[in-house]
Amino acid sequence: MAPVPEKILWLVSRGYVEFSEKGYQQLFDGSYNRDDVQNAIMFGKVMKKERDETRVAKYKYTIIGPALGGDQLYCCGKIRKVRSGEEYFIITFHDAGL
C-alpha cells in the first residue's frame, strides 16, 4: 500500500472530480454518494498503480479507503487534462468487500 499522490489529494479536495458514465450510474443506483467517494480517496491508500491502457492519462490508480459511514470503497480513477487544467476522473467505484 502506498499513500495517495499529492496531486490527486489536491484535485479531490478542491472538487476537481468527474465521474465516468458508469460512475454516475453507480451514484444514482447505489448506496454511496459523491462525498463517500471523495472521502475514500482522501483517506485511502493506493493498492495498485498501472499504466492507463487508453493513454488518456499516464496511470490509473486503485484506491481503497473509507466512505463516510466507514465501509471500505474500491475506487479506480486517473488524472486527466481538461480545458481548465486537470481533474481526477473516477472510472468506477464499489464496496471493497473488506
Whether residue 98 is predicted with pLDDT greater than 80 in this model: the reply is: no
Domain interval for residue 53:
2-95
pLDDT in tens, 27-61: 999 889 999 999 999 999 999 999 988 888 899 99
Instruction: Report percent pLDDT > 70 for the chain.
Output: 99
Q: Is the overall model pTM greater than 0.85, yes or no?
A: yes
| pLDDT recorded at residue 54 | 87
Q: Is 27 exposed, middle or buried (0-12, 13-18, 19+ CB in 10 A)?
A: middle
| pLDDT recorded at residue 65 | 97
**How many other C-beta atoms are found inside a 10 Å radius of the C-beta of residue 89?**
22
Instruction: Report percent pLDDT > 90 for the chain.
Output: 84
In the chain, how many domains are there? 1
